[in-house]
A = this chain, B = another copy of it.
């Protein structure tokens, strides 16, 4: 289906007589090209039992998702990185066709449709908690909801480029039903483990987008060489003129994922009930590098509690 028709089907607003435009809810912070190029694949070491539970959950999910989205490792390095637990072998039974533009897009779509869940759940639970216990939240909710919004913008951006098939749509619906409820209950049980889990999940997301960018650079995705980012993306990220290709778009999204990785690994280090949110706070000594909304001081494996509280 051509892109214009897709727009009609998924994005057509009501025929409005009075309304001109409805702008996005949250302003995206500005990222420079240099900052985005500096984003690296990274891994935070597991230290506690809770960390182990989190990473095992991520591996299991990744395994399921790789099968669901027909993923095959685009290159040898990726194969090496993804071969813990011998999953590469199991996956090989399903055949190993190379990653095409469409396969990448379907993977992104699926990934982003579940990525929007944890922030909304965590924000809701903390909100309910504050109402019920009659205590302040210390600024966490804002960042969590903004994360959920950001993930949803990733999804809507990819939706401007391709429509998933029926099977994929069904899987997205099914995955949300399971994931939303499971994450809700898990967050009630151990919020810390859940933030660690998202931190590890975002490590995978940064890896995925890094490999896709490498595929573009290796000339393996010819349709994306000249592809312009859709208008929704240009507006949301405020993409400067001359830097609005598909590759640029993936750089922005990868940086967002790296930001979520930092935020969630940091939140996983904090006292959930009493610590303020370091990403929206003002600091005693503003001249020292400290967490913020942007990526100027980004720490791939998160900030330790004693560095920020």
Chain A residues with CB under 8 Å of chain B are 10-14, 16-23, 25-26, 109, 113-114, 116-117, 120, 123-124, 127-128, 130-132, 134-139, 141-142, 145, 148-149, 152, 155-156, 159, 164, 169, 172-173, 176, 180, 271, 274-278, 280-285, 290, 307-309
| In the bound complex, CA of A16 to CA of B309 (Å) | 5
Extra inter-chain contacts (5) besides given A20-B283, A25-B280, CB under 8 Å: A18-B307, A19-B276, A113-B132, A128-B180, A130-B155
Please, how many angstroms separate the alpha-carbon atoms of A196 and B281 in the complex? 37
Q: How far is the CB of A113 from chain B (nearest CB, A)?
A: 5
Closest to A130 in B: B152
In the complex the two chains form, what is the Cα distance from A159 to B173 in whole Å?
40
CB pair A308–B18 under 8 Å, yes or no, is: yes
The 3 closest A-B pairs by CB, nearest first: A25-B142, A22-B139, A14-B274
* Given A18-B290, A18-B308: A172 in contact with B124 (beta carbons within 8 A): no
B18 with A284: CB separation less than 8 A: yes
Q: Are B128 and A17 in contact (CB under 8 A)?
A: no
In the assembled complex, the Cα of A274 lies from the Cα of B19 at a distance in Å of: 13
- In whole Å, how far is A218's beta carbon from the nearest beta carbon of chain B? 30
Contact among B123, B138, B271, B285 for A22, CB-based, below 8 A? B138
Closest CB in chain B relative to A28 CB, distance in Å: 14
Known: A127-B148, A130-B152, A290-B18. A10 touches B135 (CB 8 A): yes
A21/B281 in contact, CB under 8 A: yes
Asked if A282 contacts B20 (CB within 8 A), the reply is: yes
Interchain CA distance A233-B29 in the complex, whole Å: 28
Q: Which residue of B lies closest to A14 (CB)?
A: B274
Cα distance A113–B275 when bound, in Å? 22
Q: How far is the CB of A286 from chain B (nearest CB, A)?
A: 9
Which of B120, B274, B283 touches A13 (beta carbons < 8 Å)? B274
The interface residues of chain B lying within 8 Å CB-to-CB of A113 are 131-132, 134
Q: Of B137, B142, B149, B308, which contacts A19 at CB under 8 A? A: B308
B280 near A22 with CB under 8 A, answer yes
Is there contact, CB below 8 Å, between B172 and A18? no
Please tell me which one of the listed residues B14, B116, B130 contacts residue A131 in the complex, with CB atoms under 8 A apart: B116
Do A152 and B180 touch across chains, with their CB atoms under 8 A apart? no
**In the bound complex, CA of A145 to CA of B148 (Å):** 12
Q: Chain B residue with minimal CB distance to A275?
A: B14
